[in-house]
Amino acid sequence: MSAPGKTASAPSLTTPVQFLKGVGPQRAELLDRLGLHTAADLLFFFPRSYQESGQVHSIDDLAEDKLLSVRGTIEEIDARGSAEGRSMVGVLLKQGDLYLRAVWFNQPHMRNAFKRGQQVLFSGKAKLNGGRWEMVHPQVQEIAPDEPDSKSELLPIYPLTEGLKQHQIRSIVRRTLDDHAALLEETFPTEFLGQHELWPIHRALEQIHFPKDEASLEAARGRFVYQELFVLQLALAIKRQRQRAGAEAPKLPATQKIHARIMARMPFELTAGQQQAIREVSADMAASVPMNRLLHGDVGSGKTIVAVYAMLLAVAHGQQAALMAPTELLARQHMLTLGELLRASRVRIALLAGGQTAAQRRETLSSIAAGEVDVVMGTHALIQSEVEFARLGLVIIDEQHKFGVQQRAKLRSAGGDPHYLVMTATPIPRTVTMTLFGDLDISTLRDHPPGRQKLHTYLAAPHQREKWWKFFCDKLREGRQGFVVAPLIEMRDDDDHTAGAESLFESLANGPLEAFRLGLIHGRLKTAEKEAVMHDFREGKIQVLVATSVIEVGIDVPNATLIAIERAEQFGLAQLHQLRGRVSRGQHPGYCCMFAEATTEQSQKRLQALLDSTDGFHLAEVDFALRGPGDLFGTKQHGLPPLRIADLQRDRAVLEQARDDARQLVAGHPDLTGDAWARLRKMVLSRYGAALELGDVG
Ligand code: ADP
Ligand code: MG
């Protein structure tokens, strides 16, 4: 038995990297920069890619034209240059008493890439040249002198930081695996591994770092991808189950009588999609388990009317309904829409928004608390703590993506356990609804209201401006209205006038649009000013609205059919699709013209996607693919930690499987109690407990 003082050197998963073999204080600092602090961090520091090296061979067994690797010591380096500027670097590799020559043409820097005596691995196709083996432009890997021979055809490539070399991190990981991996305990029960064909942790860990071949790498990776997605799905499933189990909402069934009364107020025939969504919503609201549903559909697909139905259903049962919108403009527009539909009814509607006086606000608050108001429309002002509802039965959040997860939670608790419906402006890829919104049930509007005209989209070059404004003016004379959008309110010093709404307004009013009535709107105007401008635009007194992206959300003026977007490269894909969605809402065709400057390859692709398609579902997938797996629709903003190994695009099938498995497991083992699931439960909590407010499980 060793004395207690000496056990500090016994391997443990929490051993600081500094005390690992071959690390020391200096390298520990480098590892720290990579976020690697303990032995466990190193074990789970997965390669970012693998270099295909072919089998490692003795020079004796080389064969022509096969991808192979040879390990040896650098014996000689020579370089030759020609007068014409051509050059050749030759390197002689010694392996026992055999030699291989590697050559590089016109890469003079290779002269300095090697040192005599250095151990390297050359991978490439060898050829016999005058009886001697030669490789042209092989891949090079530096090898530590004590690094054991690898049998692998795939060499791991790790993320690096300055001062740390590939072979150094490789041997650090190798040693950590040898000394510490055995201490890891299996996350899953043995039968679970068998049922889901997952490799056990030790085998998977060894093979993800140093795969024997492609097939082993796939199997090893498969285990960790599944584990990562399964843990996420478990967190979501637990959250979902808790919401259902702990809460009790009023039962608000859509009886035939109520249904008929609401439908009689609808101004148009509902689309099949709207009817389906309404059926799903009413089924949820009829139960005492609170509804927790996401409604998504393309811009203009008619989500508002589904929200209106749900609100009237709540009101029919004597409950209050609250609708929260991200901007005051949108909240006020919803007021108008609802006011119109409810003309000469007894339903009482109130607005709660930032721009109100203290007295107005006090009065509204007290009538909400007294139950004298049935429907409350509002902005963030709605989630402030002093808002108390007499009997809040339903909460709707429009344009959910504009709010964070935290805010979602706050409004929920405003008044007991209401039913809960969130709507997003644009379709969301399925992989994303399953992750970010995995705790919600989903309704999808796939169709558009009938009679929609075509939406034309153009990307215009500078010399086409004149032509576009002429067309714009022609349409205005026909009676249509339009928007012109700039990314900023004021242009910055280094920009031209098209970048700022104010300067753009000036130049249009004194230039191509001087014959028309123009209005200006942006976030910095006072509430009353915004309201006046929107009112005049709706009434047609203003023909052209120059704006920032404040008009992106919700604005619904069907006579507006024209939109010009300046500096389109500065907007996101979903945002541009939203913006042009403002002009295809009526019986006239819509026209969207984008002007772009200094586009990057990414922005070029975004703009091209908009030219190619008006299908929001398709664009959502394109957007998702362009942003890449790293940005899970801005997970940071949603508060979820990023995925480390899974890629939602590539691993879609695994994601679906993991979700089904997680829901099934949580149904049988609520909160994952029981020893068999203890390690998984811990993992779920440490990774997602805070972000999903899971608190203490079990
Ligand atoms: P979004 O899904 O973008 O929120 P809205 O609810 O604002 O869409 O609806 C877009 C426009 O389509 C509105 O002018 C709305 O009145 C109209 N609309 C919605 N549903 C129908 C329908 N079934 N038939 C005709 N027009 C409809
Ligand atoms: Mg809407």
Cβ atoms of 74 and 80 within 8 Å: the answer is: no
Q: What percent of the chain has pLDDT over 90?
A: 56
pLDDT of residue 697: 47
pLDDT at position 411: 52
pLDDT in tens, 419-446: 999 998 788 888 888 887 888 899 999 9
1-45+158-183 against 256-445: fold identical = no
Q: Topology of domain 1-45+158-183, per CATH? A: DNA polymerase; domain 1 (1.10.150)
Q: What angle do CA 335, 337, 343 make, to 5 degrees?
A: 90
CA 458 – CA 242 distance, rounded (Å) = 49
CA distance 197 to 154: 23
Residue 271: CB within 6 Å of ligand 1? yes
Please indicate whether residue 427, judged by its CB atom, sits closer than 6 Å to ligand 1.
Answer: no
**Residue 266 in contact with ligand 1 by CB distance below 6 A:** no
Highest mean pLDDT of the ranges 32-41, 350-359, 446-455, 487-496: 32-41
Going by pLDDT thresholds of 50, 70 and 90, the confidence category of residue 595 is very high
Burial letters 369-378, b for 16+ CB under 10 A, else e: eeeebbbbbb
- Using CB atoms within 10 A of its CB, is residue 123 exposed (0-12), middle (13-18) or buried (19+)? buried
Averaged pLDDT, 93-113:
91
Least confident of 128-132, 315-319, 397-401, 468-472: 397-401
Q: What is the mean pLDDT of the chain?
A: 88
What is the CATH topology of the domain spanning 455-632? Rossmann fold (3.40.50)
What is the rounded CA–CA span in Å between residue 20 and residue 403? 45
| Res. 472: pLDDT tops 90 | yes
Tokens 């026992």 identify what position?
96
The Cα–Cα gap between 321 and 308 comes to: 10
From the CA of 661, how far away is ligand 2's center (Å)? Answer: 34
User: Residue 323: phi, psi to the nearest 5?
Assistant: -125, 125
CB-based contacts of 464, cutoff 8 Å, min separation 6: none
**What value does the CA radius of gyration of the chain take, rounded to a whole number of Å?**
32
Nearest CA to ligand 1 atom 20: 302
Task: Return the amino acid letter for 46.
Answer: F
Q: What percent of the chain has pLDDT over 70?
A: 93
Backbone dihedral angles phi then psi of residue 575, each to the nearest 5 degrees? -65, -45
Q: How many Å apart are CA 569 and CA 44, to the nearest integer? A: 39
Ligand 1 proximity of 305 Cβ (cutoff 6 Å) = yes
Give pLDDT, residue 5. 38
Tell me how far CA of residue 423 lies from CA of 79, 208, 332, 552, 693, in angstroms.
67, 41, 17, 15, 22
Mutation to probe ligand 1, out of 335, 551, 585 (largest number of atoms < 8 A from CB): 585
Tokens of 256: 């035939």
Closest ligand 1 atom to the C-alpha of 271? Answer: 23
H/E run at residue 581: helix 573-581
pLDDT of residue 246: 76
Q: Is the pLDDT of residue 696 over 90?
A: no
Task: Give the dihedral of Cα atoms 106, 109, 110, 115; nearest 10 deg.
Answer: 150
Cα–Cα distance measured from residue 130 to residue 139, given in angstroms and rounded to the nearest whole number: 23
**CATH 3.10.20.740 applies to domain 256-445:** no
* AA letter at 318: G
CB-facing half-sphere around the CA of 434: CA atoms within 13 A: 20
Overall residue count recorded for the chain in this entry: 698
- Run of H or E including 500: none
Confidence of residue 634 (pLDDT cuts 50, 70, 90): very low
| pLDDT reported for residue 181 | 94
- For 451-543, strand residue ranges (E) read 455-460, 481-485, 518-521
Q: How confident is the model at residue 408, as a pLDDT?
A: 53
Question: Is the minimum distance from the CB of 307 to ligand 1 under 6 angstroms?
Answer: no
Q: How far apart are CA 137 and CA 56, in angstroms?
A: 17
User: Which residues face 105 on adjacent strands?
Assistant: 88
For ligand 1, say whether the CB of 449 is within 6 Å of any of its atoms.
yes
- From 12-21, 58-67, 361-370, 487-496, the region with the lowest mean pLDDT: 487-496
What ligand is nearest to the CA atom of residue 581? 1
pLDDT of residue 3: 41
Residue of minimum CA distance from atom 23 in ligand 1:
270
492, 499 Cβ separation under 8 angstroms: yes
What's the whole-number mean pLDDT along residues 403-421?
A: 62
What CATH code would you report for 49-153?
A: 2.40.50.140
| Domain layout of the chain by residue ranges | 1-45+158-183, 49-153, 185-246+656-698, 256-445, 455-632
User: CA–CA separation, 289 vs 307, rounded Å?
Assistant: 19
Evaluate whether 598 touches 567 at the Cβ level (below 8 Å). Answer: no
- Say whether pLDDT at 373 is over 90: yes
- Please write the tens of the pLDDT for every residue from 271-299: 999 999 999 999 999 999 999 999 999 88
Pocket of ligand 1 contains residue 337 by CB under 6 Å: no
Give the integer Cα–Cα distance in Å for 582 and 557. Answer: 7
* C-alpha torsion sign, points 422, 428, 432, 438: positive
Pocket test for ligand 1, best of 268, 270, 304 (most atoms within 8 A of CB): 304
Which residue of 306, 423, 538, 556 sits with most ligand 1 atoms within 8 Å of its CB, as the best mutation to test the pocket?
556
